[in-house]
Structure formats: structure tokens, C-alpha cells
Amino acid sequence: MSFEPEIGGLIRSALDDPETGWTLGAFGALAAFRWAADEWRAPLDDGRLGHVTPRGGIGLRPRDDLVPVAYETALGADWSQAVALCLPEAACAGPGRVAVTEIGPDKDALWAEDRDAPLFDLGLGLGQAAMAVRARGAAALERLRAAHGGGFLAPDDPALNPAAPGDLAWIVSGPLGRIEVFGDPFRDPLGPRVFLAPHMLRLRRTHAATAPIPSGIVPVAHLLPPHPAKTAMGDPVPFDPARHAAFDVLLSRWGIPHVVAAKRHAGGLGPRPATPPDRWTRAAERVARAQAAHRDAAPRRSKDRLTVRDGTPEVSPRYDPLIVRALQKGCESAVDDD
């Protein structure tokens, strides 16, 4: 059975939500993308899902072998949440170039006018993703061509210091698509940006050890729905039950079943799983306790409550469209949980 239509819907909804962030890449080398609600953006012209803004862009092609994995990670009295978009290991056997390499024109550039500009792989040697820069301007091209064939370029290497704004665009690409970052790739904590940590790359992991990714598949991208208890910058906010319920929908559909069951049991919402406890179920129990503490401490306001009318969850229109759609696609059980 092909899951592409359902997964395509998941991706489209997330791309249309300015509160949902994205990452694409590998452990220690990735690009992040997020757009602002008041920011200009344009759809792509070649059938890829995504859009371009003045700060960067994202372009994805959903595949039939794409496997979403929704999960939460315990962080002391807090937690994180994400949906990993995974592919079979065999689909992630990219070229893994270990030297700076001029690829040729960037034929997959998000903007058509950028598809004639030269693309340089930075030589990280990864299979699930490649980090590259697209160069314009004589000085930038000269420096990068001088580095061709050499080892990995650190971010502070002079070859990656553009002589003028727009000379370089950073790209992280993989079998699912790409994220492009225009301008300073490390400056904007909430916009398109690049994350590069050589000490993490040396571990040669495909993902963080805290992520419960089943064996045989590799995460190539993550979507990051809005957190119910903190901002995208990590600052605490009053607990939002609608956002919590919306992610529970994703967790119920795409989570690891025995991990989800362990979390529900820890919250008093289901029987103890028949499988023996493991690191993932113990982490899920800690998440359940952290969420219960936030939920119990949250002030009860009538406009924040979720209701069910004729079997359909309803929520105040002040919540963003992604949450409303998620709740209205069958999250009655998640609403009852709150």
C-alpha cells in the first residue's frame, strides 16, 4: 500500500503553517527552515512541495517509501517533539563525497534563475545528505575552485566568506529534497539557517541517540510542530492544550506503538504494554509526567478548552489552521485525554 497521499497531506499542512519548523540533513550537518506569517513567499514552479522566501526556501518530493515517525524526547522537566521523515537505508546511499567538488550547474535550485549557477559539494562524506554552496561572483568562484579536491571546508574558511551579499547560498540536500539558505547561514535563530558541528559528524550517526527510530530506516528530514509549552526559541509559555492535542494526533498515527502505549499507561489512559520496558518506553513515561505537570499547572480558561460537538472536535479559531485541521481529522481521543 502506498502512503504517499496521506504523507503528502501531512507535509503540505506542515509547510503551510508558519509555526512549524523543518530540518533536513544528517546528525551534525543540517539546514533548518521556518517562515514568518508576515513574510513574502512563493510556491515552487516544478511540482515540488515547498516555497521560497527572501531568506531561503524548502523543496520536497514525497515518496512512496517515506515513513513518518512521530516521537517525543524527555528533557528533564521538559520535552521536545518532532516527526522524523525516514527512508530505507538503501535510499540514503548518496555519493558521500569526501573532498570539495564542483558538481556543475545547480539544476535542482529552487529558483529557476539559479539553476545555471555552479554548485560545490563541501565534502562531508555523508550518505543521507550533502552540504553544498551555490556560488555567484568571480571572487567566490575563484576561491571555491581553488579549494576543489581539498578536504572539508570549515564555516570560517575564507573560501566560504562571500565578497558580496548573494555570492553564496548554502544548500543541504538529500533523497527527499533540499533546504536553501540565503545570506548569513548562521545568523538567524528563527529563520533558514545551517547547523554544522564537526564533533558530531565524527560520530557518524544517522540521528540522535535519543530518537526512537526503528532499525532499517534513516531520518532524512524532520518537521517540528509548535510546542504546547514553549516558543520556537525555547522560552516557556502557558500550556496550550490544543497544540498538545494536535501533536497527540500525530503521535497516535505515526508513533512507535509500544512507546505510545507506555506513555498512555503512564498518564492513566490505557493498560500497561505487554512488551518489556526499554529506554524508549521509560523516556515516554517521563514525557507523560512532564506533560501532566504542565497541564495541571495551566490556568483553565473557557476559550482554551477543546469541545466536541456531534463527534467533531472544535477549537477556538485563534489557533493556527494546521492545529484546527489536525483536530478535525479524528482527534476525539486526544481531546478526551486532556
Mean pLDDT across the stretch 71-100?
Answer: 92
Q: pLDDT, tens digit, for every residue of 268-299?
A: 888 888 888 899 999 999 999 999 998 887 66
Cell numbers at 197, concatenated: 558541528
Which residues sit opposite 172 in a β-bridge?
Answer: 131, 179
pLDDT at 311: 40
The Cα–Cα gap between 335 and 333 comes to 5
Q: Which residues contact 61 (CB under 8 A, 6 or more apart)?
A: 47, 48, 49, 176, 177
pLDDT at 179: 98
Query: What is the DSSP pairing of strand 67-75 with strand 193-196?
Result: unpaired
298 exposure class (CB count in 10 Å sphere: 0-12, 13-18, 19+):
middle
pLDDT at 81: 97
Cell numbers at 215, concatenated: 532499525
Strands (E), the chain: 21-26, 29-33, 42-43, 49-53, 56-60, 67-75, 78-88, 101-105, 118-121, 130-135, 168-173, 177-182, 193-196, 217-224, 307-309, 312-314
Mean pLDDT across the stretch 20-33?
Answer: 95
Strands (E), 236-335: 307-309, 312-314
pLDDT > 60? residue 2: no
Handedness of CA 112, 189, 83, 25 (dihedral sign): positive
Q: How far is CA 204 from the centre of its chain?
A: 20
Q: Please tell me the pTM assigned to this model.
A: 0.85
* CA proximity to 249, closest of 329, 336, 319, 305: 329
The Cα–Cα gap between 269 and 111 comes to 49
Name the phi and psi angles at 36, rounded to 5.
-90, 150
pLDDT > 80? residue 165: no
Contact (CB, 8 A) for 237 and 229: yes
